[in-house]
Amino acid sequence: MADYRKMWRDMGLNMESHDQLLEALPPTYHDAYLTQNNRPASMEYFDFVVNEIHGLRVQELQEHKAGGGKVIGTFCVFVPEEIIRAAGGICIGLCSGIEIGTAEAEKVLPRNICPLIKSFMGFKLAKVCPYFESSDMVVGETTCDGKKKAFEILNDYVPVYVMETPHMKKERDWQLWREEVRDFARHIEEFTGIGISASSLAQSVREANEKRRALRRLSELRKCDPAPVSGKDCLLIEQIAMYDDVVRFTAKVNELCDELDKRVETGSGVFPAGAPRVLVTGTPMAIPNWKIPHIIETSGAVIVAEELCTGLRYFENEVDEQGTDMDAIMDNIAQRYLGINCAVFTPNTGRMERLLQLVKEYRVDGVIHCALSFCNSYAVEANRVEKVLRQENIPLLKIETGYDQEDTGQLKTRIEAFVEMIKE
Amino acid sequence: MYAGIDIGSRTICFAVVSGDQVIHSKITDTGFEPVKTARSLLKGNYEKIVATGYGRHAAVSDFADNVITEIKAHALGAVFLFPGARTVLDIGGQDTKVILLNDGGSVSDFQMNDKCSAGTGKFLEIMSGALGYAHLPEFAEKSLSGRSGVKISSMCTVFAESEAVSLLHRGIKREDIGIALHSSVVDKAAGMLVRVGFKAPLVFTGGVANNHCIVKLLSERLGVEVLVPPQPQLVGALGAALSGRKNI
């Protein structure tokens, strides 16, 4: 990696804490990723991106800013990246999956709160995230209560714009959301100083859709047995999707898929044919949270799909490209985003229906439901998931865990026992 | 001959089966070098050595041929000892597990405590010490004569210990506190059993199944007979040995 220390110092990072963070990353990554069998060669690009996690991409953001451009951070797959990009901004997902700055975060947050919220607050307060420090503003949403209230606090440290995401999907909720999308566009135009035109918006819609199609192409390949790529690698790609350059990322995912096409033709895979196939569902797994997938894939099973925000929810449906005038495109964007099945909606029957379809399409032997500690929405909704899966005799393991490693022993036993059970 | 070794948090259990007979078994403290202790138990040539318990992966990189989880091991062992068993409750040194079995004796569902060791052997061991008993059998025996009425409200080992101590200071008899502590373990186990919808016959395994007070209270609470094998902590090792026999 090139020397980025000057850049980090100039950005105002806390260099000592930042060094500690970077030291924490490589061994985990080595153990979880670089020891996998028969990895596709095209994973090289994604390894490079992780290796440069606080380097090259951050430098690109800094160059964009030096040219007068804006960087806008987000925390949720409901925030329409097309709008940010159409107004000349770069959209960066800021969620993080590592325990950092806990003591700092607990100055302003209660101790018992979702680790994802605690982590983003910790990153900001401890000044260790170059993406956060590059962000000129961040966009929050009213999805869960924890985030909603935490954004009020975060606003003390960085300008926060909050989108109101509805909690039901009635006609008036759709109406509200269509207005929210338009308000957001106006706010972003004002902030970047660049007006959104129908053609710039159509282009950003097209590019985001191409990214989604590449990720869907990757998903489709995982329906094969043996799986040509590991679930861990796919999760990594889905995590990188949140902050990498859209066009370059899309090309790299397609390159990987070209390689995987050949693997499928020759029947080559990362696990033996017939290995138990697991679907992971629940709360997002932000980079570098690979805890549960790593345990699953070192217990003899392969993850074939993630019904997560860092997974299918991020790229499953696309924005309709039929509309050409501004109004139609805005409506199409709103339509696509409100179609996401998040547990903050009531009822959220779309998620249950989708899970049953996924189990069939991906020939899943068992489902593992992972909820982050203190995530009420997903932990409670796990009961609805259990109900529909039980009716169909689909095995389910429910896990609640945080970013710490203290429960790894018990989790390993539970997951291995689940794999033994679905193998029989 | 097939050997099974269960490397748990408190004890290492070893069992050897030949045909349908358990021809050798041994239980020893885990100590501070579990793999070394485990290896010292091996005597002779085995067609297969299968490891289970917390030290299973360390054992397989050292001497064992294969691993299975404690959940599968206890299921196999319990069905061998009690054909037709439908539920296994295993309470060990730091874990509680409830395992549901189908008609064929295979695992159909299970529950396990999270990271916390509340309501396990470790909990009883610490409480026994807090009440001044020399060893666990004495704690169980004396607690059987305790009167119910005292309630321990905390599930956390640390908090429950200070609760027990403050009850002692209030002049409550230690037998009465003892039965309350045993009841709290039974409450937790019964809660897990009910949550998964357990079915009789119920087999109770793991070191805590040696505790008569727990067995009696559990049977009363659930209203079913609780089947306890002669050496309940050996069931995991036995199941591991049997799995080796199965896989040939």
Cα–Cα nearest to B9, from B51, B41, B40, B53: B53
Q: Are A368 and A397 in contact (CB under 8 A)?
A: yes
Mean pLDDT over B13-22 rounds to: 94
pLDDT value at B115 more than 80: no
Give the best residue of A413, A418, A419, A424 to mutate against chain B (max B CB count within 10 A). A413
User: What pLDDT, on the 0 to 100 scale, is given for residue B248?
Assistant: 43
Report the distance separating Cα A209 and Cα A197, nearest Å. Answer: 18
What's the CA dihedral at B96, B101, B106, B107 to 10 degrees?
A: -40
Chain B nearest C-alpha distance from A68 (Å):
50
For residue B85, what pLDDT band results from cuts at 50, 70 and 90? Answer: very high
**A414 contact B CB<8A:** yes
Smallest Cβ distance to A420: which of B54, B68, B114?
B68
Kindly list the residues from chain B whose CB atom is less than 8 angstroms away from the CB atom of residue A406.
115
Q: Which token pair is A106?
A: 């607990």
Peptide bond into A347 cis (omega under 30): yes
Round the CA-based radius of gyration of chain B to a whole number and report it: 18
Q: What is the pLDDT of residue A256?
A: 98
pLDDT of residue A406: 86
* pLDDT for residue B119: 82
Position A250, amino acid: T
Q: How far is CA B148 from the centre of its chain?
A: 25
Rounded (5°) CA angle B103-B106-B110: 110
| pTM of this structure | 0.93
CB atoms within 10 A of CB B63: 15
Task: Tell me what pLDDT residue A277 has.
Answer: 98
Q: Answer positive or negative: Cα dihedral of A226, A315, A31, A297.
A: negative
Tokens 């960066």 correspond to what residue?
A: A92
Nearest alpha carbon to residue B34 among B13, B53, B7, B63? B7
pLDDT in tens, B145-197: 999 889 888 878 888 899 999 999 999 999 999 999 999 999 999 999 999 99
Chain B residues closer than 8 Å to A409 by CB? 54
B106 contacts in A (CB within 8 Å)?
421, 424
Q: Is there a contact between A424 and B110 if contact means CB atoms under 8 Å apart? A: no
Choose the closest CB to A417 out of B110, B113, B114.
B110
State the CB neighbour count (10 A cutoff) for residue B145: 12
Query: Does B69 contact A420 at a Cβ distance shorter than 8 Å?
Result: yes
Give the pLDDT score at A139: 98
3-state secondary structure of B110: strand
CB contact under 8 A, A409 and B110: no
**Contact criterion met (CB < 8 Å) for A407 and B114:** yes
Report yes or no: A277 and A225 within 8 Å, Cβ to Cβ. Answer: yes
- State residue A360's pLDDT score: 98
How high is the ipTM of this complex?
0.89
Q: Which of A419, A357, A403, A422 is nearest to A96 (CA)?
A: A403
Interface A–B counts its CB contacts (< 8 A) at 40
Nearest CA among A130, A18, A115, A150 for reference residue A73: A130
Name the stretches of chain A with pLDDT < 50: none
Q: Which residue of B has its CA nearest to A395?
A: B109
Cα dihedral A220, A321, A206, A336 sign: negative
Tokens of B51: 């490891």
